[in-house]
Amino acid sequence: MDKLNQRLEQKNAAVIVVDVQNDYCHPKGAIAKTGIDVSAAGEMIPDLQALLDAAREHGIPVIFLQTNHEKATDSEVWLSRFEDGVNPICHTGSWGAEFFVVSPKETDIIVKKHRYSGFIHTRLETVLQTLKIETLIMTGVSTNLCVESTARDGFMRDYHIILMKDACAAFSQEEHDMTVKTVDAYFGMAASTNDVIDYWKQHAGRIPQLQT
């Protein structure tokens, strides 16, 4: 807890919600249609929702990263990952690109992205700098791809990283556990939602607030 307290004490934090969208999380989404088990995404939703509710209650900014793909953003290199050269995931304006279960509130911020990392060719860093954010509380899917890519890039930009191990999900437990271990060792720390929520409750009134 001491390490967690150091990351949160006197540090402006934001919760980053990565790619909690139908194509990645819904049992009828594009990923599930390939035969991949997406059940872990649904299982982590209650912990994620509890974290978001607590963040909003205590004035912690919530930033949703939303993947959108279209011809204008899908390069030849990006499409080479698919056998037929066609990206079926999160097309702009599609049901698959919509948020899954948890949705942004009026006070939340949405940042659209087109690559694994939320920092690549997006307005995320401008938003973080404007809000004077120093600590990123990472949540979402998938733990080992878009969440980890964003966390790594955030650390390289001198943000403190806290990975919510029970508010992230991957498409296998092995992949999830590997990222939790890697981030905790080299890019920040891993923690549970209860630990962060308890910190906010115990320090209510002393948490750095977003100035509007």
Indicate the pLDDT class of residue 212, thresholds 50, 70 and 90: very low
Distance CA(157)–CA(159), nearest Å, equals 6
Higher pLDDT, 78 or 62: 62
Alpha-carbon distances, residue 107 vs 5, 52, 63, 89, 205 (angstroms): 26, 12, 10, 27, 19
Instruction: Inform me whether the pLDDT recorded for 83 exceeds 80.
Output: no
Is 37 known to be catalytic? no
Q: What is the pLDDT of residue 69?
A: 87
Structure confidence at residue 156 (pLDDT): 98
Superfamily of domain 2-202: Isochorismatase-like (3.40.50.850)
Choice among 10-24, 73-87, 126-140, 194-208 with the minimum mean pLDDT: 73-87
Q: Are 4 and 193 in contact (CB under 8 A)?
A: no
To the nearest whole number, what is the mean pLDDT of the chain?
91
Domains of the chain, residue spans: 2-202
pLDDT more than 70, % of the chain = 89
**Active-site entry in 25, 90, 146, 168:** 146
Return the sign of the alpha-carbon dihedral for residues 17, 146, 7, 190. positive
The verdict on whether 19 is a catalytic residue reads yes
Active site residue 113: yes
* Marked catalytic residue, from 23, 25, 113, 166: 113
Determine the pLDDT at residue 75: 67
pLDDT at res. 84: 61
C-alpha distances (whole Å) from 121 to each of 36, 71, 91, 163 are: 29, 16, 18, 23
